Amino acid sequence: MQFFVDSADLQAIKDLADTGMVDGVTTNPSLVAKSGQDFKTLIAEICDLVPGPVSAEVTALDADAMLKEADELLAIAENVCIKVPLTWDGLKATRSLADRGKKVNVTLCFSANQALLAAKAGAAYISPFVGRLDDIGADGMGLISDIRQIYDNYPDLETEILVASVRSPEHMRAAALIGADVATLPPEVLRSLIAHPLTDKGLEAFLADWKKTGQSIA
């Protein structure tokens, strides 16, 4: 399973990339606005930090304008992945970019039918938003399971499931059990995956026992 960082915080991305756990990065207009940085400069700096795909989202709403923006973003770095919304124009742009061999991340997916359309359009990634579905009382992980089954039914569909709007370690565990290809996590959620009280308790006991020996390894 691949881990992407869902962030525009350069320091957080660098710190996590240094662990070797980061396979890519996703951004969106809200994260960029929060960073306060120039969009193109920010994407270029992220691409320098992470060799894997870096999703940069278009803001246009019609297909031709999306493709024009996509060309601007693709010129930034070889590992830029164009992110488009799951609309008819977004799917048209996806097909055009996919036909040129460019990776596209189709975002704001909330149904299995939408995911099927994105795969038919040639998306490299589909981004279902599990947390936002949970917020309205729907079953976010149920959607991931449905998409996994549909894609597995048709081996010619090569779109990877990129679980987005991940809010907790439980989301991550469930996504991995279902067999999602990728999960994109906020830095704080990714860091939280390592935490367990018994790990802390066990380490504390080991160190206390070691101290009693009076020894030093180095």
Based on the residue annotation, tell me whether 211 is a catalytic residue of this protein: no
DSSP per-residue codes, the chain:
-EEEEE---HHHHHHHHTTT---EEE--HHHHHHHTS-HHHHHHHHHHH-SS-EEEE---SSHHHHHHHHHHHHTT-TTEEEEEESSHHHHHHHHHHHHTT--EEEEEE-SHHHHHHHHHTT-SEEEEBHHHHHHTT--HHHHHHHHHHHHHH-TT--PEEEEBS--SHHHHHHHHHHT-SEEEE-HHHHHHTT--HHHHHHHHHHHHHHHHHT----
Of these residues, 34, 83, 102, 120, which one is catalytic? 83
Q: Give the catalytic positions in this structure.
A: 83
